[in-house]
């Protein structure tokens, strides 16, 4: 006679073992599935980090078509006016991202995002149409930047004045850098400036004026 109690016990034990094995198998498959999806994301994130680092170390590797287009012109204008080419590149990068057609409803225009009113302080007879010409815009903007560097004796204050207006900087001094928008703008320019500075064709040459706190312009 079959002992049904022992049979039921054995069957329950085997069923439990099967369920346990199936659960383990499903858990293993879930881990494999999750890992297969997570790995590409991690690789993408790692690649993005490397690309960002490379961009800061060598701007030429991530240079846009417009940046390459105006690079020689910016270098020439900077040398003519007497400002650091790397600084002028950085200002153009942040102001317009090398878009010669960039405009703003509040008035700034062109590569240097300079207003017609401000442009007339360094070039009284310039017209709005002329101000949209790349080289004219660069030259006027560079002259204005040079004047600010000479007036404030501090590159960060000069860049703040370029963005927020000289009057505001004269009124608030270094406190103007407490404004998040102005401080963010200045920091972006300085970051790009330090990147471009490492560029062989934008770096100051031996024997030229060294970059100091008050010497981002060069005497002519």
Q: Report residue 42 CA to chain centroid gap.
A: 23
Matching CATH number, 62-197, of 1.10.530.10, 3.20.20.140, 3.40.720.10, 3.40.47.10? 1.10.530.10
Spatial CB neighbours of 85, under 8 Å, sequence gap ≥ 6: 74, 75, 78, 79, 196, 202
Please, are residues 157 and 178 in contact by the beta-carbon 8 Å criterion?
Answer: no
The verdict on pTM exceeding 0.85 is no
95 is catalytic: yes
pLDDT in tens, the chain (220 residues): 545 455 455 555 665 666 677 666 666 666 655 555 544 444 444 444 444 444 444 444 456 888 999 999 999 999 999 999 999 999 999 999 999 999 988 899 999 999 999 999 999 999 999 999 999 999 999 999 999 999 999 999 999 999 999 999 999 999 999 999 999 999 999 999 999 998 655 555 433 333 344 344 443 3
The active-site residue out of 67, 95, 130, 135 is 95
Tokens of 217: 């312009």
In whole angstroms, give the CA distance from residue 115 to residue 104: 9
């Amino acid at each position: 006679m079959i002992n049904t109690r022992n049979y039921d016990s054995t069957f329950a034990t085997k069923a439990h073992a099967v369920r346990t094995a199936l659960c383990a198998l499903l858990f293993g498959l879930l881990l494999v599935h999750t890992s297969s999806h997570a790995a590409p994301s991690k690789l993408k994130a790692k690649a993005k980090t490397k690309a960002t680092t490379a961009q800061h170390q060598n701007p030429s590797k991530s240079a846009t078509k417009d940046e390459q287009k105006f690079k020689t012109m910016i270098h020439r204008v900077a040398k003519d006016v007497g400002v650091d080419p790397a600084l002028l590149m950085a200002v153009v990068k942040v102001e317009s991202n090398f878009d010669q057609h960039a405009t703003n409803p509040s008035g700034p225009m062109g590569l240097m995002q300079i207003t017609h009113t401000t442009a007339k302080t360094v070039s009284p007879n310039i017209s709005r149409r002329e101000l949209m010409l790349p080289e004219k815009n660069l030259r006027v903007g560079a002259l204005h930047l040079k004047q600010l560097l000479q007036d404030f004796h501090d590159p960060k204050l000069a860049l703040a004045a370029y963005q927020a207006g000289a009057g505001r900087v004269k009124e608030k001094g270094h406190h103007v850098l407490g404004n998040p928008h102005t401080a963010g703008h200045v920091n972006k320019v300085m970051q790009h400036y330090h990147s471009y500075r490492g560029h062989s064709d934008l770096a100051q040459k031996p024997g030229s004026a060294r970059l100091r706190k008050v010497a981002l312009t060069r005497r002519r």
